[in-house]
A and B are shown apart, each in its own frame.
Chain A
Amino acid sequence: MATYQEFIQQNEDRDGIRCSWNLWPSSRLEATRLVVPVSCLYTPLKERPDLPPIQYEPVLCSRANCKAVLNPLCQVDFRAKIWACNFCFQRNSFPPSYAGISEVNQPAELMPQFSTIEYIVQRGPPTPLIFLYVVDTCLEEEDLQALKESLQMSLSLLPPNALVGLITFGRMVQVHELSCEGIAKSFVFRGTKELTPKQIQEMLGLMKPATSGQQGKPLAPHDAAASCRFLQPVQAVDMNLTDLLGELQRDPWPVPQGKRPLRSTGIALSIAVGLLEGTFPNTGARVMLFTGGPPTQGPGMVVGDELKTPIRSWHDIQKDNARHLKKATKYYETLANRTAVNGHSVDIYACALDQTGLLEMKCLSNLTGGHIVMGDSFNTSLFKQTFQRVFSKDYNGEFRMAFGGTLEVKTSRELKVSGAIGPCVSLNSKGPCVSDNEMGVGGTCQWKICSLTPATTLAMYFEVVNQHNAPVPQGGRGAVQFVTQYQHSNTQRRIRVTTIARNWADAQSQIQHIESSFDQEASAVLMARLGVFRAESEEGPDVLRWLDRQLIRLCQKFGQFSKDDPNSFRLSESLSLYPQFMFHLRRSPFLQVFNNSPDESSYYRHHFVRQDLTQSLIMIQPILYSYSFYGPPEPVLLDSSSILADRILLMDTFFQLVIYHGETIAQWRKAGYQEMPEYENFKQLLQAPLDDAQEILQTRFPMPRYIDTEHGGSQARFLLSKVNPSQTHNNLYAWGQESGAPILTDDVSLQVFMDHLKKLAVSSSA
């Protein structure tokens, strides 16, 4: 039998699933004692070039509250043409089209290798994708110019039949009509007045004229498509729109000295949402917000227009000193929920040196699966390339985006689903497999994910409900089915079904098995997501304390030690890395707000709760490569001891890509050796990390901040703040060893952390 490593890898490749435990404890009690819950990371739209989609409808279990999809785990009676649902044990007959079924002639969904399978289904007329640009015009000339160019360029990337719309805002909000010749027409709204969706639709003329007695009703989506002047196929209006964008001017209203420009982001978004709501409910649509500063007026304002009052910091928030925070957050949450209900998503591209109110607005993207991109300026490659990458295409030449997804989870009887953490909202669908014990977004077995990419990954948490005294039969397996319905970027409706099963294990007799089935990487990410989820609503120290306690309990459960003897403490291989992940997680910007603005924290957390396992791990514990003359590039410890004078380091934190030249290397480079033919090898050494970085830059979304620095450089702080401070100004004994760079910090090092952990784990009093 293959190792767990291989098993895990294989499962991930096939199903996009990583479970915290690959053997499941068979009772509720045991499960809770394992500390890390039975849970998994699921990537619903994992790219599967090898998986041919099936062109027919899935076969569903006929039990009304089950409706599980026929899958390889089902018992099939080929003679009777009957199959038994592996979730509810309902016996179903096959539909007539399956008449020819036999052991040798099985449909794909019954084959074991198709535990993940994708159906293409016919559901109504296909609706084109919709892209609604919401553009801030309170930008510097240069920024606006760059943004205009990016937007113009993006028109060529859109599918030709996609509908585009343009809303610009500053002091006022303008909804541009795209279909008119000869005159550029737009509808203008006051930036301070909140309007109901109905008012917005009325004002945009999206209502049918009121007929006798009854008030105007929204047009049926089909009519709307014809009459909606604000959303037009790219192919029809790209010339118009290019001109329109070209003529776009900065917000003309004068900004007095000492004031911020008045920016009506809140209203602009509510109009965008209202427009789509009225015209294309429940179809795939992206609202793409491009903003260069915080909302400064109207509902959703984050900061007043007086420059002398700075935008809220964590300090203000902790002291309850952020005036607009609650109101604005509530406003955007309401908006986000509306958007989610309609199945649309909101992207935020915020480029400014100061904060832009992501803290308040984040839920727009978090709840709808939209992107958040944060940069310093629209005139940077970070923004330009990231934006371009939104429209990147897969191996089939199709956009890496999907819309209006719903994810439904079905579990076998011993399991219930507690919740999900990811870019989703609850659909409030109560069913037999919904646990009362909520973790993350719970209380439902269905979630809406308005926008998905192949990387979108959700953390799903389960609860074992089997009672201790009702053992599962030997060899029994618990099963979970994920049914994801979504609109593919080519406008097809598709359903992807993933069915997994894991063996039950008796925790008392088979604890070693369970321990060895532990996936510490997945578990670290799953626990981190819980921590980040908590951090959104709880005080930072509480979350850290909770994480610590979980870690200590896990160590107590699985560590081998003699009581009260820290030195005797050992962890098995399958858990050995876990404490280190936790150490870096504690230091990460996801849980530490020190030195981060509220916007940055929101930005980091946003990405953390949606990326797949590998990326998430990089975020928790950045990877560090070392380049030297002494051998090929090698990954080295994220430790201050790795910072050596004759090395070049490449650190990838997901958000930043830091190339750090050691002291000597930096001197050589300054001296220009790389220009000399005889030092060709030095030139190559300098080039190597750049090439590797380029490779990462090619694929990463969003584009990381690229930092090229050297010993003593101010930007070196990006590296120094991440590495384990094993040498600090406090343990000067390390000075003589020449083995690294001391970090000027009072943070505890990994060593100290582990020492404490051991002490606490072995303590009998704990």
Chain B
Amino acid sequence: MSQQGYVATPPYSQAQAGMGGYSTGFGNPPPQSHYGAYGSPPQGYSAPPTGVLKPPASSPSGMPPPPVSSQYGANIQQNGAHPHSFAPPAASAPSMSPYGQPPQSVYQSMAQAPPPTQQLTNQMSSMNIAGYGQRPMQSPLSSAAPQQFQTSPPPAMGHPPTAMGHPPLSPPGQQPPSLGSPPPMATMGSMPAPPMGMTGPPGPGVHQPPLGPQGYQQQPGSPIAGPYGAQMAGPQMAGPQMAGPQTGAYPGGFPGGPSQMAGPPQKKLDPDSIPSTTQVIEDDQAKRGGQVYVTNIRGQVPPLVTTDFTVQDQGNASPRFMRCTTYSFPCTADLAKQCKVPLAAIIKPFATVPKNETPLYIVNHGETGPIRCNRCKAYMCPYMQFIDGGRRYQCGFCSCINEVPVQYFQHLDHMGRRMDLYERPELSLGSYEFIATLDYCKNNKPPNPPAYIFMIDVSYNNIKSGLVKLICEELKTLLDRLPKEEGAESSAIKVGFVTYNKILHFYNVKSALAQPQMMVVSDVAEMFVPLLDGFLVNFQESQAVINNLLDQIPDMFADTNESETVFAPVMQAGVEALKAAECSGKLFIFHSSIPTAEAPGKLKNRDDKKLVGTEKEKTLFQPQRGVYEQLTKDCVAQGCCVDLFLFPNQYVDMATMGDVPSHTGGSVYKYSNFQVEVNGQHFLSDLRRDVEKSIGFDAVMRVRTGTGFRATDFFGAVHMSNTTDVEMAAVDCDKAVTVEFKHDDTLSEESGAVMQCALLYTTIGGQRRLRIHNLSLNCSSQLSELYKSCETDALINFFAKSAYRAMLNQPLKTVRDILVNQTAHMLACYRKNCASPSAASQLILPDAMKVFPVYMNSLLKTPSLVGSTELSTDDRAFHRLMVMAMGVEETQVLLYPRLIPMHTMDVSSESIPAPVRCSEERLSESGMFLLENGLSMFLWLGQACPPDLIQNLFNVPSLGHLTAEGTSLPVLDNAHSRKLHSIISSISQQRATSMKLLIVKQKDRAEMLFRQHLVEDKGLHGGASYMDFLCYVHREIRQLLT
């Protein structure tokens, strides 16, 4: 699947040539010397290296300066010649409805905005400006915004006014007002009709007035608007103190000469001055939180994943299902290559839809099956254009003209839309489901309902730890809550049970039996299923026998002394069982130790810390091949998903054991040194969630795109047997697939970029369905458009997954270097193309990406990538596996955990206190903080934590009375305790896995665990602080720009 992929195309995204250039040119040597020293004092950035850097940087191998610069030149010229340059497209697309154009041109014109910003001296403000198209405009106006407009403009401003003067200008002429692109969106959003439904030619005019004014009005507006602005102001004032030759406060600190970076002055940099994730999140929440996000506009950027919003599907899939790295694709491959911003979508086909949003409609096209384009096989969707009086339709993806089947015929209205547009979900919605016909089923037979097989390791460790008893007790009640089809009386899912150590025990729990029967299979070399009838049963029918069995299992093995286990045969058995029953399903494997018993898939301890930091480090993450590879294929072919719950006391070769789960849409859970009292509840809530969650089986996903680009790479818990079909034995509500796109050809601005994700799967009730998600994006030949519509959270998800896959084949250092390089490159490209020339010492970030560096830095510090001998190999592999299946929300919080101050919580309010930045500086001795990253949760208690708070929460008089470890949080009847518990529970409800709460006291040893999540600080196991990283990236950018 992926092995050769990464090596062949070194960068994570399009920028092949460029990247290649970097690594050979200057990319390699400098990062090595610098980055290696990153974790050490900032002196690392002192002057000498830059000297070294420069020469290579100027070499042609780096950036391709000639072409690029010429392009830029062209761009710049365009400013003047703009109208002309745009005219042709407009003319060449007569088919476009006239009103379709305004919004587009609006976007394009954004390109012009940046130039003004280049004039700014204040670096921070420039960061804002870069993205000023959107946020700064909004109410919490940053102080920077005014500044930019005040200072920058003459050249650019000159133009807009003229444009303003001629509202009725033809579309191309409208660029200037475009500054306010968000406002139009807002207005449009509020309009009842679909995007294109705006009223004819006057459209542009209508838009412009509100736009322009809005944008400009704000300029003079309160200079100290939002908190963000306020914070900025401070530093700015402090500017003079800084020694930087550059006038601005920060700029001086930042980019300045290397000399400035070194030494004490840097310490004085105010961390508040650098872009804050919490701030960005807060701003977005404030701006878009609680609103309805209507998906009727092509290429609109959705709110952040952290923002609480409601989606109304009007033709594009909800961002919960699909989220893109950018909502405006560059028109050409060259542009894409130039900017190096990866084009990708993160697809979570089964994402949970909140209660207040409409669930997916189910469409039945009858016996002939869903209507599809004859050529590209895309499914009927809103992008199909009906023509010829409704007799034919043109495919929105491949442009093929198809006949409309007779039974599907419908007349068109005067707008050329089908009369039944709003009655048919497939014509009006972004996401819906088709009932699949037998043609879509294996062997043309309707599928059987899936089965859940519980496979419990009953070797000594699991018995001793009490785990087996715990599981058996839990299953008795849990199985009553198996997921069921909506409206169904009981779940159709069958259940089966297997226990094993060195050998496997199957159980016959047929309802007719007086007592369960156990069948032992000791031939682990060639696993088979010893029984057919009675193994997979309906829980309700066989409840008595099953309960009898679950009662007996712990006793039966109570005095076992078998400590060896097998693993591959267990999965094999599961697959065989499903094969025999001709159904898909899921295996829940509760396993304790590295499988050392003589059997296929026997593993040996290959944990070698000496490999860390060497070329061979990657082998630690590579699964052992052979049996497991074949098993993956078998599992996927049968639709057998494997969920692995691991309870290791030592090394278990996670990389190999997690291999099958991670390719079959399964999950891996790990509870090291499991003790019922300590991790029991944690495990149980994971188990419950895992059993109950909504899921589809035996799935094949296909992403179709419009002409000009295509899906080239897929990351996730998936299996690819060819280059286009994403096979997943199962896909649940937490699994996301990240899809990367590349250009085939040029994209046109009018038609945009459309994509359709079709997922064929079997429901829990045993129905075959097709879930369709459609999404349309904009295309632009202006890079500024692209940068403006970037989605940092999606970007980092893509980078995380691609890096985690790359680390299997490349030395970690190379992977890290590529990440850093690409970060620098993306930003440099922005700087070069979208920001006006300014002092090289200024760090200018696109608004939409301004917190990208902190995420990137955090990614580099994740256990998998950081490469420290102090971290267990299993943990690193585990982390890697988890991230591979994550969606945007999960990677976001993982890479920037929420740090919530609890000592200030308002017990009377419902809300969760606003999180603070993830840095030690934000902690206070007298405080109490809750930190969560989606995987774990910490309650940090400052040394001077108020005793009454401690009393309220822990029922002990003071901090000293809390024991060092294993403290649990009692449920107490007082406002503080209730509030804390409610916060914790509301947080854990948002997450895919349950989080174990760890209570750490300041200065305790356990604090280390907590502190490694403070991602803005220097990593405990290596890795730079946010500030250092920013400086480093900045220097890289400068290298690139020279």
A: residues with CB less than 8 A from B are 172, 174, 177, 180, 182-190, 193, 195, 202-205, 243, 247, 249, 252-254
Contact = CB atoms under 8 A, between A and B. Distances in A.
A334 B160 CA distance: 99
Contact of B517 (A185, A205, A253, A254): A185
B519 A186 contact: yes
Contacts of B519: 174, 185-188
A186 B526 contact: no
B513 A252 contact: no
A205 B549 CA distance: 22
A182 B515 contact: yes
Q: Is the interface of A mostly helix, strand, loop or mixed?
A: mixed
Contact of B532 (A190, A193, A204, A252): A252
B1027 interface: no
B59 to A, nearest CB: 64
B503 A203 contact: yes
A215 to B, nearest CB: 11
Given A183-B549, A188-B506, A190-B523, A172 B517 contact: no
A187 B520 contact: yes
Nearest to B562: A209
B515 A172 contact: no
Nearest to A173: B530
13 contacts: A184-B518, A185-B519, A186-B518, A187-B519, A187-B522, A188-B521, A188-B531, A189-B521, A189-B523, A195-B523, A203-B522, A205-B522, A247-B517
B532 A253 contact: yes
Which 3 residue pairs spanning A and B have beta carbons closest together? A188-B530, A203-B522, A252-B533
Name, among B516, B520, B521, B533, the residue most crowded by chain A CB atoms within 10 Å (CB to CB). Answer: B520
B350 interface: no
A4 to B, nearest CB: 63
Nearest to A203: B522
B190 interface: no
Contacts of B532: 252-254
Contacts of B534: 252
A204 B520 CA distance: 9
Interface string B535-571: 0000000000000110010001000000000000000
A172 B530 contact: yes
Contacts of A189: 521, 523
Interface of B: 503, 505-506, 513-523, 526, 528, 530-534, 548-549, 552, 556
A183 B556 contact: yes
Contact of B528 (A187, A190, A203): A190
A193 B523 contact: yes
B516 A188 contact: no
A545 B464 CA distance: 76
B531 A252 contact: yes
Contacts of A254: 532
B513 A247 contact: yes
Contacts of A195: 523
Given A182-B552, A183-B556, A252-B533, A190 B517 contact: no
Given A193-B526, A203-B503, A253-B532, A184 B515 contact: yes
Given A180-B518, A243-B514, 6 more contacts: A183-B516, A185-B518, A195-B523, A249-B533, A252-B531, A253-B532
Given A183-B552, A183-B556, A186-B517, A202 B522 contact: yes
A349 to B, nearest CB: 25
Name, among A180, A187, A193, the residue most crowded by chain B CB atoms within 10 Å (CB to CB). Answer: A187
A428 to B, nearest CB: 35
A247 B518 CA distance: 13
Given A172-B530, A183-B556, A188 B520 contact: yes
A174 B531 CA distance: 10
Nearest to A250: B533
A254 B531 CA distance: 11
B67 to A, nearest CB: 66
Contacts of B522: 187, 202-205
Given A182-B515, A203-B503, A190 B526 contact: yes
A204 B523 CA distance: 10
A560 B556 CA distance: 83
A737 B967 CA distance: 114
B883 to A, nearest CB: 40
Nearest to A243: B514
B496 to A, nearest CB: 14
A608 B523 CA distance: 41
Nearest to A188: B530
Contacts of A185: 505, 517-520
Contacts of B518: 180, 183-186
Nearest to B553: A183
Contacts of B513: 247
A186 B549 CA distance: 15
Contacts of A188: 506, 519-521, 530-531
Contacts of B506: 188
Nearest to A202: B522
Contacts of B514: 243, 247
Name, among B503, B517, B526, B534, the residue most crowded by chain A CB atoms within 10 Å (CB to CB). Answer: B517
A203 to B, nearest CB: 3
Contacts of A247: 513-514, 517
A44 to B, nearest CB: 41
Contacts of B528: 172, 190
A195 to B, nearest CB: 7
Contacts of A183: 515-518, 549, 552, 556
A118 B548 CA distance: 56
Contact of A174 (B503, B530, B549): B530
B602 to A, nearest CB: 15
A252 B517 CA distance: 14
A185 B513 CA distance: 13
Contacts of B526: 190, 193
A259 to B, nearest CB: 16
A195 B523 CA distance: 9
A165 to B, nearest CB: 15
Contacts of B530: 172, 174, 188
B503 to A, nearest CB: 7
A181 to B, nearest CB: 9
Contacts of A205: 503, 522
Nearest to A191: B528
Contacts of A180: 518
A505 to B, nearest CB: 65
Contacts of A193: 523, 526
Contacts of A252: 531-534
A145 B520 CA distance: 25
Contacts of B503: 203, 205
A366 to B, nearest CB: 31
Contacts of B552: 182-183
A252 B508 CA distance: 12
B684 to A, nearest CB: 25
Contacts of B505: 185
Given A172-B528, A172-B530, A184 B517 contact: yes
A247 B508 CA distance: 12
Nearest to B508: A184
A174 B506 CA distance: 12
A193 B552 CA distance: 32
B550 to A, nearest CB: 11
A174 B518 CA distance: 11
Nearest to A251: B532
Contacts of B515: 182-184
A193 B525 CA distance: 11
A253 B529 CA distance: 11
A597 B381 CA distance: 70
A195 B531 CA distance: 20
A216 to B, nearest CB: 11
A497 B513 CA distance: 55
A299 to B, nearest CB: 14
Contacts of A204: 522
B639 to A, nearest CB: 21
